[in-house]
Amino acid sequence: MRIIRVENYEELSKRAGALLAAQITLKPNSVLGLATGTTPIGAYEHLIQGYESGDLDFRAVQSVNLDEYEGLSGSDPQSYRYFMNDKLFDHVNIDKERTFVPSGRAEAGAECVRYDELIESLGGVDLQLLGLGRNGHIGFNEPSDVFPAGTHTVALTESTIQANSRLFAKAEDVPRHAITMGIRTIMRAKKILLIASGADKAEALKSALYGPITPQLPASILQLHSDLTVVADAAALPEAA
């Protein structure tokens, strides 16, 4: 595990953006595993700047996203497909046909099977970017009694619904279910980049990095990955941790 502790969100975005950019430069046809949430937005801005300055070429890049809310179509501004288009894909020369997000509108059982097969057919993920839920979730793998393996549907916990409600007009609007890549798929990525910012992530991050490996804190399994980089700011990773 490699831990990069930086002062603030701006620095985190720069460092995470640079690691993603390096992946694309070193392997132009990378399969990137991408994440939503507010944390990766700054890193995506750095990628857009890299494209605009002519340093980054996304032509051969493919991407698979971690998750999607059930019931939302890609044109819904609250959907993760919309988020990815808005925050990254619309601003770089990626072939959108080769960017994949689980469908929130398809029949869930079949979509889970299709998504796992799709990732397999791409040859797996080269670099998986992960944010961290306040309860230690990754993707939408919520605390549970087992580590779910493949893509599956999940009932969101009350704490996740509350945390994500800041992005909706009201908490009632937050979908109660989501479809997410499973832990095995995430752990099979060749490299993982976990980013965490802000004091409200400190407890989950500390447990994830130094606590027991348990499905009650899904991110704790990342300790077993052989190529994990963590970029966290001072608020998320106080020196005392």
- Rounded to whole angstroms, how far apart are CA atoms 80 and 84? 6
- Rounded to whole angstroms, how far apart are CA atoms 194 and 132? 7
For this structure, is 142 an active site residue? Answer: yes
Angle separating helix axes 41-52 and 9-26, nearest 10 degrees: 50
- Rounded to whole angstroms, how far apart are CA atoms 97 and 115? 15
The 3-state DSSP class for residue 2 equals strand
User: Taking phi first (over 0 means left), then psi (-120 to 50 degrees means alpha), and beta for anything else, what does residue 86 get?
Assistant: alpha
66 makes contact with ligand GLP (CB under 6 A): yes
**Which range in 3-11, 48-56, 86-94, 126-134 contacts ligand GLP by CB under 6 A?**
126-134
44 makes contact with ligand GLP (CB under 6 A): no
**Least distance in angstroms from the C-beta of 200 to ligand GLP:** 8
Nearer Cβ to ligand GLP (16/66): 66
For this structure, is 137 an active site residue? Answer: yes
According to CB under 6 A, which one of 46, 62, 140, 183 is a site residue for ligand GLP? Answer: 140
Written as one letter, the residue type at 233 is D
According to CB under 6 A, which one of 13, 23, 30, 36 is a site residue for ligand GLP? Answer: 36
39 makes contact with ligand GLP (CB under 6 A): yes
103 makes contact with ligand GLP (CB under 6 A): no
Query: Whose CA is closest to 224, among 180, 197, 196, 184?
Result: 184
136 makes contact with ligand GLP (CB under 6 A): no
182 makes contact with ligand GLP (CB under 6 A): no
Q: How many CA atoms lie within 13 A of 38 on its CB side?
A: 11
42 makes contact with ligand GLP (CB under 6 A): no
- Rounded to whole angstroms, how far apart are CA atoms 134 and 217? 10
131 makes contact with ligand GLP (CB under 6 A): yes
For this structure, is 67 an active site residue? Answer: yes
For this structure, is 225 an active site residue? Answer: no
Give the total of residues touching ligand GLP (CB under 6 A). Answer: 14
**Least distance in angstroms from the C-beta of 138 to ligand GLP:** 7
Instruction: List, by residue number, the catalytic residues.
Output: 67, 135, 137, 142
